[in-house]
Structure 1
Amino acid sequence: MKIAVCSTCGSDEVLADAYAAWAVTSQSWELAQTFDKGAYCARCDGQTKLVFMAIPPAQQALFEQ
C-alpha cells in the first residue's frame, strides 16, 4: 500500500490535477483521469510534485478500516 505525499515537505495533504466525467446513472462526478504533472500541496500552499511512498505495515491497518 502506498500514499501520495508532497516532494517538498512530505505532507499527505495533496491534490492532483484530474478530469472528472459526469455519470448519468449515478448522477455524480466520477474520476476519469489523473495527471502526473500539476499537483498542489496544502501545507506548502503551492504547486508540487507527488512522490508515492510505501506505508509501513504497522500503519496500514489505519487505512483499511
Structure 2
Amino acid sequence: MKELRALSEAEMDDKMIALKQKLIESRLLAASGRLEKPSVIKNAKKEIARILTLKGLKNAGNK
C-alpha cells in the first residue's frame, strides 16, 4: 500500500490500465480452462480497488 501511495496520478492510471489488461487476459484464460492460478484474477481485482480507493482519497483531500 505504501508503494501505491508514492505513485503519482499518472502512474496510478498506467498501473490500473495494465492491471485491467491482465484481468481481461486472465478471464479469457480461465474461460478456456488454461489459467493455472485462479488467484491472479482475485489479486488483480483487489489491486485495482486499492488504486481507486487511493485516487478517491487524494481527490477528497484536495477539496
Q: TM-score range by the shorter chain?
A: under 0.3
Q: Give TM-score scaled by structure 1 length.
A: 0.21
Larger radius of gyration: 1
Q: Which has the higher strand share?
A: 1
Q: Which has the higher helix share?
A: 2
Q: Give TM-score scaled by structure 2 length.
A: 0.21
